[in-house]
Amino acid sequence: MDGILSLIIIIYLVCHSPAIIMLIIGLTRLKSRPENAKKLLIAAGIYFLIGGGICGALLT
């Protein structure tokens, strides 16, 4: 059971790590380059949505 839990966590991180990185970069650029930050935040939200769907489909 412990191996399955670690596999689930690894799959979750693989599916969502680019979105987390885009979210962090977008939040840090919010003051200096708001147009670029807005695009990054929207892309991160879409990536979270799609990554959650793919991750959920893989885990069922």
41 — pLDDT class (breaks 50, 70, 90): very high
Residues of the chain above pLDDT 90, percent = 45
Element (H, E) at 17: helix 2-28
Question: What would the pLDDT profile of 2-17 be if each residue is shown by its tens digit?
Answer: 788 888 888 888 888 9
Enter the pTM of the model: 0.75
Residue 11, Cβ density class (10 Å: 0-12 exposed, 13-18 middle, ≥19 buried): middle
What are the sequence ranges of the domains in the chain? 15-59
- For the chain, the maximum distance between any two Cα atoms, rounded to a whole number of angstroms, is 47
Residue 47 in 3-state DSSP?
Answer: helix
